[in-house]
Amino acid sequence: MSSDPIDTPTKILQATLKLLEAPDAKLPTMSDIARATGISRQAVYLHFPSRTDLLVAATRYQDRLNNIDTGLAPSRGARSGAERLDAFVTAWGNYIPKIYGVARAIMAVTDTDAEAAAAWNTRMQDMREGCSAAIKALAEDGTLPPGTDMEQATDLLWTLLSVRNWENLTQTCGWSQDCYVATIRGMAMATLARDLGALTDVLACTDPPA
């Protein structure tokens, strides 16, 4: 019951997130957002100079709401490299669904809007830091196969963990979140740590089909 009145920019961001996170979300127009906020379309431009700026601001706002760092704490506290990789994959994999609505919108305009592409890349670069740290931890353990290029290993983990792959498996193929996490984790462990044991029970999920 916060009695302090919410300022207009925040109201706009909240409305935007609500629209983006709707289950059947189409890409909202500025008019949609204005209507949802309860103000005129042009008033939106008073606070956000362009649609892209608004979408980018929405992602930042959402990150603040979700406090991504708390989920990553177990990853940073992990003892072994394998443990760290495992924790990171799980944390990120479970974070994706929270940002998917907004991510989808940003990715959609990425093809036509360089500024949006830059914003999204920055965001993914942050995630890449986590990949890099996990790879480094594996290397320090000696778990990483000799001769492995750490840059390439990071690239691969980063690609495996892409939102697109999550989208493909859970949204298009209908996998459960647990099944997704288990499989990606298994693949990462098998490929990066040469640990076939991590693949036990992978690809044998028995989720009730949605």
Partner DNA sequence: TAGTTTGCTTGACACTGTGTAAATTGACAT
Partner DNA sequence: ATGTCAATTTACACAGTGTCAAGCAAACTA
Query: Which parts of this chain interact with its own copies (CB under 8 A)?
Result: 26-27, 104, 107-108, 111-112, 145, 147-149, 152-153, 155-156, 158-159, 162, 164-165, 168-169, 173, 175, 179, 183, 186-187, 190-192, 194, 196, 199, 201-206
The residues near 195 (Cβ < 8 Å, ≥ 6 apart) are 82, 143, 189
Is the separation of the CB atoms in 72 and 59 below 8 Å?
Answer: no
* Residues contacting residue 52 through CB under 8 Å, at least 6 positions apart: 109, 113, 115, 116, 119
Q: Which does 35 bind (CB under 5 to 8 A by kind): DNA, its own copies, none?
A: none
Give Rg (Cα) of the chain.
19
Tokens of 35: 């209507």
- Does 46 engage in binding with DNA (CB under 7 A)? yes
The correct pick among 15, 16, 52, 99 for binding DNA (CB under 7 A) is 52
- Using the rule CB under 7 A, give the single segment among 41-49, 86-94, 96-104, 143-151 that binds DNA: 41-49
The single-letter DSSP state of residue 174 is -
Binders of DNA among residues 5 to 24 (CB under 7 A) are: 8
> Is residue 50 part of the contact set for DNA (CB under 7 A)?
yes
47 is a site residue for DNA (CB under 7 A): yes
Site string for DNA, 149-178 (x = CB under 7 A): ------------------------------
Strand stretches in 98-192, DSSP E: none
Q: What is each CA distance from 95 to 17, 44, 138, 147, 196, in whole angstroms?
A: 16, 29, 22, 32, 26
Residue 47 interaction partner, one of its own copies, DNA, none, beta carbon < 5-8 Å per kind? DNA
- Of these, 13, 15, 16, 51, which contacts DNA (CB under 7 A)? 51
The single residue among 17, 36, 39, 57 that binds DNA, judged by CB under 7 A, is: 39
Burial environment of residue 159 by CB neighbours within 10 A (0 to 12, 13 to 18, 19 or more)? exposed
Q: Which does 52 bind (CB under 5 to 8 A by kind): its own copies, DNA, none?
A: DNA
What residues have CB less than 8 Å from 184, skipping those under 6 apart? Answer: 89, 93, 160, 161, 165
**Residue 111 interaction partner, one of its own copies, DNA, none, beta carbon < 5-8 Å per kind:** its own copies
Residue 80, burial from CB neighbour count under 10 angstroms (0-12, 13-18, 19+): middle
Under the rule (CB under 7 A), what is the footprint of DNA? 8, 29-31, 38-43, 45-47, 49-52
